[in-house]
Amino acid sequence: MNGVTMRGGISGGATMNERWGEARIRERRKRRVQRAVIVGVLATAVMVVPPFVSGFIDGFMRNPSRSGAPAGEVIGIAIALLAVIAVAGVWGWRESDEVQRRHAVNAWAAVGVVGFVGRTILQMIERALHLSPMTEQLWWGSLAAGAAVLIWQRVKG
């Protein structure tokens, strides 16, 4: 024996769990699922609870048909949702390894370049052709660029 046994006793070395790698992967997957559930519940709660409570209060105050959500409510929901997204991002960043982080940085770089350069180009096109602002199309285009970079990195290996 060279000091380590797999199923028990020690003969001069540390005891190793027979399937420690599988257990580690299983625990990591379990943490990811738990994190996804927590983030999903928090994001849903942030978007659903305030309007529900506001509507409930409006019903008791005999004001069931208001024209829209108050600015404070909308801003509060936006800030809370940004907080949930930031916490989820930091949480995911800490759980990822250096290869996943590099892929994420490359994807965000593609999103940033398309958004930065695309905005300038779209402004020129909008003015020249008298079009309405195309910011939503630019947003979707930059999202597609980031997704394409992620997919390319996965395919490339």
Could you tell me the residue ranges of all domains in the chain?
A: 98-157
Separation of alpha carbons 130 and 127, rounded Å: 5
Structure tokens given for 71: 């600015």
Q: Tell me: the pLDDT tens digits for 40-63?
A: 888 888 888 888 887 777 777 766
Q: Tell me: the pLDDT tens digits for 76-96?
A: 888 988 888 888 888 888 888
DSSP 56-115: HHHHHTT----SS--HHHHHHHHHHHHHHHHHHHHHHHHHS-HHHHHHHHHHHHHHHHHH
Structure tokens given for 107: 């994807």
- Tell me the backbone φ, ψ of residue 131, rounded to 5 degrees: -100, 160
DSSP 3: S
- Please give the model's pTM, rounded to 2 decimal places: 0.58
The answer for residues whose C-beta is within 8 angstroms of residue 56's C-beta and 6 or more apart is none
Is the pLDDT reported for residue 15 higher than 60? no
